Amino acid sequence: MNSFIMESTEKKSRVPARLDFLQSGTGLILGLFMWVHMLLICSIILGKGSFNFVAKTMELAFLSDNGQGFPIAVFFAVFIIFTLFIIHALLGVRKFPISWKQHRIIVDQMQMMKHQDTNLWYIQVFTGFIMFFAGSVHLYTMLTNPGSIGPYMSADRIVSGNMWPLYIILLICVELHATIGIYRLCMKWGWFAGKDARKSRAKLKTLKNRLTIFFLSIGILALLVFVVIGIKHKDRAGERYDNHAAAEHVQADDKALETNILEEEIAIEKITIENPSREIEKIISEEINDSHDKIPAPEAEHDWEIKQPADTTHEVQ
């Protein structure tokens, strides 16, 4: 039997490879951004002042004369991230199972193979699907209100705005999706492979698990801090931290002034008790001055009569 080898003269398309590379690039940028973003958000754990400093720095407050910053800087940053988010989501959707039949085939294969990395891929697909909706809501909120980032306004949005369920879901999905995604990128492109691929894979998987636990822990703690602040600030929802801090500063100045006055009065009383003779001299001096003020002044006519000499001259006839 003769065998025939048919060589195709058609050039294979490089579009799928380029799209895959673009998906990996946008995913890497978004994953690293989310880690940095989470660290900045968790500055609320250190106090309201720390988070306000971070927020004002993001608004480039150090470049403004009044220290209020430029919320437009936040707008452009969110716009860039939102654009990358949409591009990454659209590129990822092409790998999703588009029918129930495809979904069942994938689940059956996962149960048969029991391969951990395949299970991680499925988790990434599931979390990515949820993030497409929950993340869009969050990014749109930040895009339309770039100046609403602060200890009180962020806490009010979570508590008074009833956004806490969305942020809990988004926190879990983002951290799982980001850590799994960067781990799979390392496996796919051979980053940190080393001489022994198996040992490198085990180390990267351990690092992935630790990073997931770390970011989930600080993220949940930060969310709890925001909830506590939002509950305490619920009766003044919408108030900015800067205005509240200024009011507290004025109250502190007034209280300090009252304290100084009280301390001066206490010091005077102490001096009076320790030196009673001075107090007696003060009383006597005040009584003498009062007595001088009570002496009536001489009448004007009487003064004139005393001052005018008698006329003793006689006219000579």
Say if CB 115 and CB 154 are below 8 A apart. Answer: no
pLDDT for 315 = 45
pLDDT of amino acid 193: 81
> For residue 295, what pLDDT is reported?
54
Residue 8: the pLDDT is 53
Q: Which portions of the chain are predicted below pLDDT 70?
A: 1-11, 243-260, 264-265, 267-317
Terminal-residue alpha carbon distance, the chain: 188
Query: CB-based burial of residue 174 (10 Å sphere; 0-12 exposed, 13-18 middle, 19+ buried)?
Result: buried
pLDDT at 289: 62
Quick check: 124 and 180 in contact, CB under 8 A? Answer: yes
Give the tens place of pLDDT for each residue, 256-300: 666 667 776 676 666 555 555 555 556 556 655 655 555 555 554
Query: Own/partner pairs for 136-140, CB < 8 Å, 24+ apart?
Result: 136/85, 137/166, 138/166, 138/167, 138/170, 139/78, 139/81, 139/82, 139/85, 140/82
Q: What is the pLDDT of residue 244?
A: 53
Alpha helices by DSSP H, the chain: 15-41, 48-58, 71-93, 100-113, 116-144, 151-159, 164-189, 197-232, 241-274, 276-294, 300-307
Q: What is the pLDDT of residue 231?
A: 95
